[in-house]
């Protein structure tokens, strides 16, 4: 017999573990492990299951916190190794801001991966994916990296790209600038400095394997072709964001083009370019535009070797990464309430 006061329709509406699993998008075995507090379930999945259980009335909303007070999210930051001072500063800042991460339920770690090596990056992604709850990394545009990102997505490990994105991959969010427009900005700046007379300019990229560098080059070339046909781009070289290689590349450009009027450094390794310009005593005649406000680019702005630096605040990048992973943990859209990163143009006169 039915219990007095309970209608059959009320019984039929009671949710089950199957309903929770369907709502959370996981297996019933995973739901069982979460609800019984057993180990072996990633923190974001615990949050998703408990939220689903509360949403459909399987558990009381007031008790949801009990099930999700788990270990902090383990988030790995994978950054390129080498002499790119902006990226080195970003990595140090992640560690220095550990307390900020921990206040938001996140435990960060940083590993530097061999630069411009897609196989090494893909291997690191898969290796960290075995233990991390999420990964933030600077992407290389390559099939092996794309495949690693997609495999991690299938396993429920979210990835977030930093500074340089990757196309057609199942990453959760991109935290970087619109690099096509940034390249256009660099082209506009160099044209303003060069003036109306015919002139030659060149570019040095870290590697066009970075989508960011490729898009900056495209934007730079487009804006000059579009509005400044008197400026001739005499070539683009790759310097692997390496200061010594950039020094050699810049010396060669100055030797081949004694009348070179400007250089756009698309990536890192600004010290090498600045040193070559100073050694040639061309600080006053070569317009130098680059990226990333670091101690070396700051010094170049002060002494007049560089004319402008386009940068994004690394602290803003970290704050947005925290927000994205917190959103994913709590079952919200990755970029909910996450404002796009904005670029800053720094001259000697407005140095912070």
Q: Are residues 207 and 268 in the same domain?
A: yes
Query: Would you call 60 helix, strand, or coil by DSSP?
Result: coil
How many Cβ atoms from other residues are within 10 Å of residue 243's Cβ? 21
Please check whether residue 352 lies inside any domain of the structure. Answer: no
If one counts the domains in the chain, the total is 3
Residue 7 buriedness (CB in 10 A; 0-12 / 13-18 / 19+): exposed
Q: Is residue 350 assigned to a domain? A: no
Q: Check whether residue 161 and residue 275 sit in a common domain.
A: no
User: In the numeric block, which tokens belong to residue 294?
Assistant: 């670091």
Residues 295 and 218 in one domain: yes
Percent of the chain at pLDDT > 70 equals 93
Task: Indicate if 171 and 184 belong to the same structural domain.
Answer: no
- If asked whether residues 307 and 183 sit together in one domain, one would say yes
Provide the CATH number for the domain around residue 29: 1.10.260.40
Average pLDDT of the residues of the chain: 91
Per-residue pLDDT tens over the stretch 201-223: 999 999 989 999 999 999 999 99
* Per-residue pLDDT at 68: 53
351 assigned to some structural domain: no
**Cα-Cα-Cα-Cα dihedral of 208, 299, 113, 243, to 10°?**
60
Residue 2 placed within a domain:
no
pLDDT at 13: 62
pTM score over 0.85: no
78 near 145, Cβ under 8 Å? Answer: no
pLDDT at 30 over 90: no
CB 201 within 8 A of CB 263: yes
- 87 in helix, strand or coil? helix
162, 138 in Cβ contact below 8 A?
yes
Q: Which helix (H) or strand (E) holds 181?
A: helix 179-194
Domain that holds residue 62: 8-68
1 inside domain: no
- E-state strands within the chain: 73-80, 106-113, 134-137, 159-162, 173-175, 199-205, 231-238, 260-265, 287-291, 308-311, 344-346
Q: How confident is the model at residue 76 (pLDDT cuts 50, 70, 90)?
A: very high
| Cβ-contact 26, 49 below 8 angstroms | yes
Position 3 in a domain: no
User: Does residue 197 share a domain with residue 271?
Assistant: yes
Running DSSP on this structure, what letter comes out for residue 176? S
Q: Are 300 and 164 in contact (CB under 8 A)?
A: no
Residues 25 and 171 grouped into a single domain: no
Q: Point out the domain boundary residue: 48, 68, 88.
A: 68
Encode pLDDT of 279-331 as tens digits. Answer: 999 999 999 999 999 999 999 999 999 999 999 999 999 999 999 999 998 88
36 within domain boundaries: yes
**Is the model's pLDDT at 1 over the cut of 70?**
no
Q: Which of 50, 68, 86 is the last residue of a domain?
A: 68
* Residue 43 predicted with pLDDT over 90: no
Q: Which residue has the higher pLDDT, 8 or 167?
A: 167
140 touches 127 (CB < 8 A):
no
41 lies in a domain? yes
CATH code at position 156: 3.40.50.2300
Query: Are residues 210 and 252 located together in one domain of the fold?
Result: yes
Q: Hunting for tokens 């970029």 — which residue is that?
A: 335
Whether residue 205 is found in the same domain as residue 297: yes
DSSP category for residue 139: -
Same domain as 134, residue 94: yes
- Token reading at 36: 């019984």
Cα 332 vs. chain centroid, distance in angstroms?
20
């Amino acid at each position: 017999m039915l219990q007095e006061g309970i209608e059959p329709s009320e019984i039929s509406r009671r949710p089950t573990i199957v309903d929770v699993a369907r709502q959370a998008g996981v297996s019933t075995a995973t739901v069982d492990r979460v609800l019984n507090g057993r180990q072996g379930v990633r923190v974001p999945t615990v949050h998703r299951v408990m939220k689903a259980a509360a949403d459909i009335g399987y558990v009381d909303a007031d008790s949801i916190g009990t099930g999700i007070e788990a270990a902090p999210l383990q988030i790995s930051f994978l950054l390129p190794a080498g002499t790119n001072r902006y990226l080195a500063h970003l990595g140090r800042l992640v560690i220095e801001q550990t307390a900020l991460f921990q206040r938001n339920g996140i435990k960060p770690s940083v590993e530097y991966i061999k630069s411009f090596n897609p196989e090494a990056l893909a291997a690191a992604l898969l290796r960290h994916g075995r233990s991390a709850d999420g990964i933030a990394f600077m992407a290389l545009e390559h099939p092996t990296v794309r495949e690693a990102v997609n495999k991690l997505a299938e396993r429920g490990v979210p990835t977030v790209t930093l500074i340089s994105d990757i196309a057609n991959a199942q990453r959760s969010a991109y935290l970087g600038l619109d690099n096509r427009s940034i390249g256009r900005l660099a082209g506009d700046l160099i044209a303003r400095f060069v003036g109306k007379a015919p002139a030659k300019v060149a570019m040095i990229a870290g590697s066009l394997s970075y989508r960011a560098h490729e898009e900056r080059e495209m934007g730079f070339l487009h804006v000059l072709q579009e509005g400044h046909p008197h400026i001739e781009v005499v070539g683009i070289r790759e310097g692997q964001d390496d200061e010594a290689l950039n020094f050699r590349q810049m010396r060669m450009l100055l030797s081949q083009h004694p009348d070179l009027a400007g250089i756009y450094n698309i990536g890192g390794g600004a010290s090498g370019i600045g040193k070559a310009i100073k050694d040639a005593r061309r600080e006053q005649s070569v317009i130098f535009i680059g990226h990333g406000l670091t101690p070396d680019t700051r010094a170049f702005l002060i002494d007049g070797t560089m004319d402008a630096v386009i940068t994004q605040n690394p602290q803003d990048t970290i704050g947005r990464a925290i927000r994205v992973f917190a959103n994913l943990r709590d079952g919200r859209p990755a970029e909910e309430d996450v404002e796009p990163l904005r670029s800053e143009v720094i001259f000697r006169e407005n140095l912070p």
